[in-house]
Amino acid sequence: MLLGCYQLNNNISFKPKPTKNKEPSSYKSLYIKDILIKEIEKIAKDNNTSFNNVVISMIEKVLNNKSHQ
C-alpha cells in the first residue's frame, strides 16, 4: 500500500504509518475542531487507514522533528 505524504506546515511533512506491529497504548479523549476532523478523515480515507492512525502519525512526526532540532 502506497501512503500519501502530507504537509503539516512549511517544515514538517508526514506519512501515516502502517498499522501493523502495534505497541502498548492507552485511551485519551480529545476535543478537535470539526474542520480538522474532516481533514483528518480525508487523509485516513485516502490512505485506507484509521482516523486514529493519522493523528498518531502526525503527533509522532512533530515530536520526532522537535527532538532533532
The residues spanned by each domain of the chain are: 31-69
Report the alpha-carbon angle 47-45-34, nearest 5.
125
| Mean pLDDT, rounded, of the chain | 80
Q: 68 to each of 12, 40, 58, 62, how far by Cα in Å? A: 12, 25, 16, 10
Q: Is the pLDDT score of 61 beyond 90?
A: no
* Whole-number pLDDT of residue 2: 38
Radius of gyration of the chain (CA): 12
19-43 pLDDT, tens digit each: 666 778 888 999 999 999 999 999 9
Q: Is the pLDDT score of 51 beyond 60?
A: yes
* Whole-number pLDDT of residue 64: 85
